[in-house]
Structures are given as C-alpha cells and as structure tokens.
Amino acid sequence: MKNMKLTIFTRLIISYLAIILLIICLGVYAFLRLNQVNQIINYIILVDDATTSITSELKDYILTQLEFEEKFFVLKDQDFYMHFWKSENYFPNAIEKLKVIADTSYKRQLVNDAKNAYSLYLSLFRKEAKTSLLNIDSNEESYKIYKKKKENLIAAIDQNLKQLVKIVERDRWKKTREASKISIEVIKVTTATVVLAVVMIIFISVINTRSINRPILLLKEKTKEVAKGRYPTPLAIISPPEIGELTTAFNDMCERLKELDDLKIDFISHISHKLRTPLTAIQEASGMLLDGFFTDMPEKQHELFLIIKEECRRLIDEVNRILDLSRMEAKMMDYHFEVTEIIPIIRKNVLKLSPLAQKRGIEFKMSLINELPPANIDQERIIQVVEELLGNALKFTPERGTITISASTNEKGTIEISVMDTGYGIPEKELERVFEKFKRIEGGRAAERGTGLGLSIAKHIITVHGGQIWAESKPGKGSTFSFTLPV
Ligand code: ADP
C-alpha cells in the first residue's frame, strides 16, 4: 500500500469526485433548508394570514349585525330582524375554520370563547327581540339590561378575536425571523462551500500540475544532456506511474545509447586493429620485395606475393562485411532469389572448412535429411550465413571438439538448419544480444574476437528470407545456432 502510486487519471478522478461530492452536499443542504423556508412561508400564508383575514371578516360581520340589531330595536321593523338572521351560518362556519387552523390549545380556547359568547349573544337577542315584538314587559329598564349584557358579550368576542390576532402576528414575526435566519445561513454555507471548492480546485490543479510538470522538466533537462552526448545517471523521480514509465523508458534509452556509444568506441579501436594487421603485413611484404630481398629466391618471393594477396582478401572481406551491414540496414541490399536445394550448399561449406577443422582436431558431423524440399533463397547470402555459423563454431570450439550440422523440416513444414558445437558457450543473458551489431561477448577468447557483425548480418539475411534465427547455449558445454527457411 505504501508504494502504491496513483495514476494521473485516478488522481484527477478522485479530485473531481471530491469537488462534485462537496457540491452535491451543498445542493442537498441548500435544498433542505430552502424547503424549510418554503414551509414556513406556506404556513404563514395558510395559517397566520388566513386567521387574520377570517378574524377581520368576523368583526365586520358582527358590526353589520349590530347595526341591524340597533335599527330593529329603534324602528321595530321586521326587515331588520330578518337581515339580522340572514347569514346566520356565517359566524359558526368561520369559527369552525379558525378552529381547524388553530395550532395551539390556547388559540382553540380563544376561538371557543368567542363562539360561546356569540351564541349567548344570539340567544339574548332572540329573547329580547321576541319580547320587544310582542311588547311583553317591554320597558326601558329591561332593554338597558339587555344592552349591558350584549355589550359585555360583544366585548368578550372582540377581546378573544383581538388576542387571537395578536398571537398570530407574534407567531408570524417569529417565523419570518426564523426564515430569514435560515436564508442567511444558506447564503453563508453556500459562500463558504463555493470558496472551499475554488480553493480545492486551485490546490488540486497546483498539486497535479506540479507532480506532472516537475518530472517532465527534469526529463527535458536530461534529454538535453543526452543530446549533448552526456549520459546522466539513471533518474529516480517520484512521479505518477505514467511518468514513472516514461522515466524508466528514458533510463533504458540512456543505458542503451551509452552502451552503443561504448560499442562504437570499442568497434572503432577494434576495426582499426583488424585493418592495421593485414595492412602492416602487406606493407612489410611489399617493402621487402621492393628492397630486393630474395631476388635470387623466387619461391620466397612467391610466398611474399601470396601473403600480400591473402591479406588483401581479408581486408576486402572485412570492409565488405561493414558495407553489407550498412546496406542491409538501409534496406538497399539486392537479393537474387531462386528455388535452390539447401543440402549441397551445406556440404560445400563443410568441405571448404574441413582442412581448418582438421588442423585444429575438430570433428565435423552431419545429420542431413536428403529429401529436404528446395527453398526460394538467395544462394550467396545463405552460403554467407552457413559460413558465418560454421566459422563461429570453429572459432569458439577448443581442439578435439565436435561440430554437428543438422538440417530437417520441422512440424510447421519449414526447413530448420542447426550448427551445434561443444565450445565455450554463451551466458544466457547474452543469448539474445549476440545478434546485435558490434556485440562481442566480454570474457570470450580475445584472440578469437571478430568485428561483432557476422551474426547481425546473418539475422538480416534470414529475416529477409522470412525465417528466424536464434541461439541456445550452455556455458562451458557448447552452443547451438539454428535458423529456419520457409519452403
Ligand atoms: P564476430 O564476427 O566477432 O565473431 P559475431 O556476430 O559472429 O561476431 O558473433 C558475436 C559474438 O557472439 C562473438 O563475439 C562471440 O562472443 C559470440 N558467439 C558467436 N558464435 C558463438 C559460438 N558458436 N560459441 C560461442 N560464442 C559465440
């Protein structure tokens, strides 16, 4: 877990998820709180405002009734009596509505008291009106008592309704304050969250940009160094995995370039040595001939001419190999394909190298299948490959060793040719790389060293033929070089 590094993609996803989560939380919070404000406002409209308006209508209604009542007692006109009772149900209905929306027992108590006072007033009026109409015991005194009682009842109704309105208004004020408090809180939280989100975005962007930018800048610096031909020590950068991979690739590239540089230096010194040896021999031999040495010994002179010829051939061979490889790499090599039998090519090569093998006490064994199918090949180039493999086997096999050449068709129907020796072998980690140009294995026999081009050329040739070439080896026991050719 400690070494687990987050990729740039994961980092960005986590960062943006955190911000989105924050904004969602803010949204939910604001929604709930504003919903609360909405409920309070609705309550004010549906309960408090309704109570106030019903109460005021009730008061108007009673005033109208009082007017009719007074006119009736003054004029004794039945019409006013009828008008008094006309909307008899209005008051109880309105009182019922008030009771329904009354949300405390005290409010309900006030409404009930008003209702009772009103009922008493009605029955009082009914009785007084009847007496007045029938003129039974009608006198000033009883009317005065009635009026007194009525005024008390109306005052009680008025008092109750006023008290109700007062409480409702106090409630409304409280609720408005609460709604305002919530709104301010929502504004504060929203502002704080927006500021936090902005800070988070800036922080995350800075962190991400830095973690991406810094290693890239470092890589840029190091790349410039490489361009100048200096190879930096491997970079160890703490960075997201994507850039980590880039760094590893960069380090590998530096290592490889350095290796190639070293190989180039090594190759130049080696090749100069390789060319100087025959050139020195030619110079010495021709100098002797020019100085008139062995003028009386034609057979010695002939020997010197032979040396010059042989050294010239070696020089040309060496230069040709270098030219061949550069042409192959530039894909400018000409190949002349024709359908050819392989076995005779192998036999011819073995025959050619037999004297050298005999001289070193090395035995050639052949395990060839005679009825190999012919293949479409460039004969010269395939001879070059077989020669290279046999030559290497001879070079790297000590005296009294054995070299076995086998040719067969494998299960895929392609021709497979192998050269197996009982030589020094190749360490496993070098097996793949012996086919790289200039590659010569350190710790091999210095005297036997070549230019490190032979196997690289062989690989080019076999690849162009559509085949494969590979090596197997057991250090100290021997190596087997094999290649395939499609039929
Ligand atoms: P060179 O021309 O210098 O021999 P090659 O490309 O033919 O170069 O071979 C590259 C290296 O592979 C050699 O320097 C040698 O170390 C190793 N090598 C090739 N063939 C054999 C073999 N049969 N046994 C052991 N080592 C070999």
* Residue type at position 236: A
Q: What is the pLDDT of residue 137?
A: 57
Buried-exposed string 325-347: b where 16+ CB fall within 10 A, e elsewhere: beebeeeebeeeeeeeebbebbe
Boundaries of domain holding 373: 338-485
Report which ligand 1 atom has the smallest distance to the Cα of 441: 16
Query: What long-range pairs does 356-364 form, CB within 8 A, spacing at least 24?
Result: 356/394, 357/394, 357/403, 360/394, 360/399, 361/399, 361/400, 362/394, 362/397, 362/399, 362/400, 362/401, 362/402, 362/403, 363/400, 363/401, 363/402, 363/403, 364/402, 364/403, 364/404, 364/405
What is the dihedral sign for C-alpha 278, 282, 285, 291? negative
The C-alpha angle with vertex 54 and arms to 51 and 56, in degrees rounded to 5, equals 105
**Mutate-to-test residue for ligand 1 from 385, 418, 426, highest number of ligand atoms within 8 A of CB:** 426
159 band by pLDDT with thresholds 50, 70 and 90 = very high
443 band by pLDDT with thresholds 50, 70 and 90 = low
Question: How far does residue 469's CA lie from ligand 1's centre (Å)?
Answer: 14
Average pLDDT (338-366) is 92
Cα–Cα distance measured from residue 146 to residue 73, given in angstroms and rounded to the nearest whole number: 11
Question: How far does residue 452's CA lie from ligand 1's centre (Å)?
Answer: 7
Q: What is the DSSP letter of 473?
A: E
Beta carbons within 10 angstroms of residue 369's beta carbon: 13
Q: Per DSSP, what are the bridge partners of residue 404?
A: 365, 420
Buried-exposed string 114-142: b where 16+ CB fall within 10 A, e elsewhere: bbebbebbbeebeebbebbeeeeeeeeee
Q: What is the pLDDT of residue 103?
A: 86
Q: What is the pLDDT of residue 418?
A: 96
Average pLDDT (12-35) is 91
Question: How far does residue 395's CA lie from ligand 1's centre (Å)?
Answer: 8
Whether residue 31 is predicted with pLDDT greater than 60 in this model: the reply is yes
Longest Cα separation, the chain: 191
Check whether residue 290 and residue 424 sit in a common domain.
no
Question: How far does residue 255's CA lie from ligand 1's centre (Å)?
Answer: 23
The CA–CA distances, whole Å, from 181 to 33, 173, 191 equal 10, 12, 15
The CA–CA distances, whole Å, from 377 to 66, 271, 291, 369 equal 130, 31, 50, 18
Check whether residue 149 and residue 167 sit in a common domain.
yes
In a domain, 235, yes or no: no
Percent of the chain with pLDDT over 70: 96
Check whether residue 18 and residue 167 sit in a common domain.
yes
**Mutate-to-test residue for ligand 1 from 396, 445, 461, highest number of ligand atoms within 8 A of CB:** 396
Cα–Cα distance measured from residue 223 to residue 230, given in angstroms and rounded to the nearest whole number: 9
Average pLDDT (99-127) is 92
Q: What is the pLDDT of residue 448?
A: 47
Return mean pLDDT, the chain.
88
Cα–Cα distance measured from residue 371 to residue 454, given in angstroms and rounded to the nearest whole number: 29
Q: What is the pLDDT of residue 446?
A: 40
Among 399, 400, 402, 287, smallest CA distance to 350 is for 402
In a domain, 438, yes or no: yes
Cα–Cα distance measured from residue 327 to residue 320, given in angstroms and rounded to the nearest whole number: 10
Residue with the nearest Cα to atom 9 of ligand 1?
A: 452
Tens of pLDDT, residue by residue over 355-408, are: 999 999 999 999 887 788 999 999 999 999 999 999 999 999 999 999 999 999
Which strand (E) or helix (H) includes residue 407? strand 402-409
CATH of the domain at 270: 1.10.287.130
In a domain, 360, yes or no: yes
Structure tokens at 186: 């929502």
* Residue type at position 140: E
In a domain, 441, yes or no: yes
Check whether residue 13 and residue 76 sit in a common domain.
yes
Report which ligand 1 atom has the smallest distance to the Cα of 478: 24
Check whether residue 293 and residue 420 sit in a common domain.
no
Q: Per DSSP, what are the bridge partners of residue 338?
A: 377
Buried-exposed string 425-447: b where 16+ CB fall within 10 A, e elsewhere: bbeeebeeebbebbbbbeeeeee
Domain edge (last residue) among 283, 306, 329: 329
The CA–CA distances, whole Å, from 165 to 49, 50, 55, 114, 158 equal 10, 10, 7, 13, 10
Check whether residue 178 and residue 70 sit in a common domain.
yes
Pairing of strands 363-368, 402-409: parallel
Q: Report the range out of 69-83, 205-219, 461-475 with the highest average pLDDT.
A: 461-475
Please give the order of strands across the beta sheet that includes 469-474. Answer: 363-368, 402-409, 415-421, 478-485, 469-474
CATH of the domain at 175: 1.20.120
Report which ligand 1 atom has the smallest distance to the Cα of 456: 6
Q: Decide: helix, strand or coil at residue 408.
A: strand
Whether residue 311 is predicted with pLDDT greater than 80 in this model: the reply is yes
Tally of structural domains, the chain:
3
In a domain, 219, yes or no: no
**Mutate-to-test residue for ligand 1 from 267, 384, 397, 440, highest number of ligand atoms within 8 A of CB:** 440
Q: What is the DSSP string of 238-256?
A: ---HHHHHHHHHHHHHHHH
CATH of the domain at 475: 3.30.565.10
Cα–Cα distance measured from residue 145 to residue 151, given in angstroms and rounded to the nearest whole number: 10
What is the dihedral sign for C-alpha 196, 197, 202, 204? positive
Q: What is the pLDDT of residue 432?
A: 84
447 band by pLDDT with thresholds 50, 70 and 90 = very low
In a domain, 212, yes or no: no
Whether residue 1 is predicted with pLDDT greater than 50 in this model: the reply is no
Tens of pLDDT, residue by residue over 223-262, are: 998 888 888 788 887 778 888 888 889 999 998 888 888 8
Check whether residue 53 and residue 100 sit in a common domain.
yes
Among 257, 185, 183, smallest CA distance to 226 is for 257
Q: What is the pLDDT of residue 450?
A: 64
Q: Decide: helix, strand or coil at residue 332.
A: coil
In a domain, 228, yes or no: no
The CA–CA distances, whole Å, from 353 to 291, 383, 391, 395, 406 equal 36, 12, 8, 11, 16
Could you tell me which residue, 33 or 87, shows the higher pLDDT? 33
In a domain, 450, yes or no: yes
Cα–Cα distance measured from residue 316 to residue 35, given in angstroms and rounded to the nearest whole number: 96
Start-to-end CA span in the chain (Å): 55
Quick one: the chain helix, strand, coil %, rounded to 5?
Answer: 70, 10, 20
Question: How far does residue 257's CA lie from ligand 1's centre (Å)?
Answer: 22
28 half-sphere exposure, CB direction, 13 A CA radius? 5
Check whether residue 277 and residue 313 sit in a common domain.
yes
User: What residues does ligand 1 touch, defined as CB less than 6 Å away?
Assistant: 388, 392-393, 396, 421, 423-424, 426, 434, 439-441, 444, 449-456, 479
